[in-house]
Amino acid sequence: MGAQSTGGSFEPNADWTAQAKDNLGVALAAAQTKLGNEVIVAEEPVGQSAQVMADYRALFAVLAQSVITYQFFPGNRLPTKKRKGAFEWTLGPGVAEIAGGSGADYALFLTNDDEYGSTGRKMLQVFAAMGGVSVISGNHKGFAGLVDLRTGDLVWLNADLQMGGDVRTPEGAQKRVSQLLEDFPGSTAPQPAAK
């Protein structure tokens, strides 16, 4: 989390990041509890475990972007992904290492990138609009993916490149989590069979 400078570069903000992390954690736990799932928040690892976690977070981000590009848009599908209903993406079986001794069956990876337009960026946007030029102020995108820790398979993914909700507030975090978890496995009640 951070600000988008006048020139468009990202300026991280540690306070916003900590606030968003707390708010998202509370909203996620509440949403998953409603589904009957237990959320075990992974402690921030240290040493070699921290490197393994960082590697899998980075791999998830790349995998999610690949799924968006090559699976979500039929015209872009890779030849191996053209089978009807095929959703075969994986982080590999080594991802089981991140479960540690928690006994977790699945890992839910969440990635949120939020850049709020700085005052200078917003001013640039106004002046550029007067000149007929479009300047984007802020960037809000997120991915949520459920990974089977036994196989490393990605079993579900949702992505939104135009997220809503200011995750610095509890209400905004709740909105963001509901967007990220849209169509989460088990989130819709089965429809009764027609008689």
- Reported as a single tens digit per residue, the pLDDT across 51-76 is 988 999 999 999 998 888 877 766 66
Strands 106-117 and 2-4: parallel
pLDDT at 190 over 50: no
% of the chain surpassing 90 pLDDT: 23
Number of Cβ atoms within 10 Å of the Cβ of 2 = 17
Span 123-147, pLDDT tens digits: 887 888 888 888 777 777 888 999 9
Burial class (CB in 10 A: 0-12, 13-18, 19+), 141: middle
What is the predicted pLDDT for the residue at 154?
94
Residue 83, pLDDT above cutoff 70: no
Q: What distance in Å separates the CA atoms of residue 41 and residue 63, rounded to the nearest whole number?
A: 22
Q: What is the pLDDT of residues 147-183, one digit of tens each?
A: 999 999 999 999 887 777 888 899 999 998 988 888 8
pLDDT of residue 171: 94
Using a pLDDT cut of 70, give the percent of the chain over it. 88
* Cα angle 105, 80, 146; round to 5: 20
Mean pLDDT across the chain, nearest whole number? 83
The better pLDDT of the pair 74, 31 is held by 31
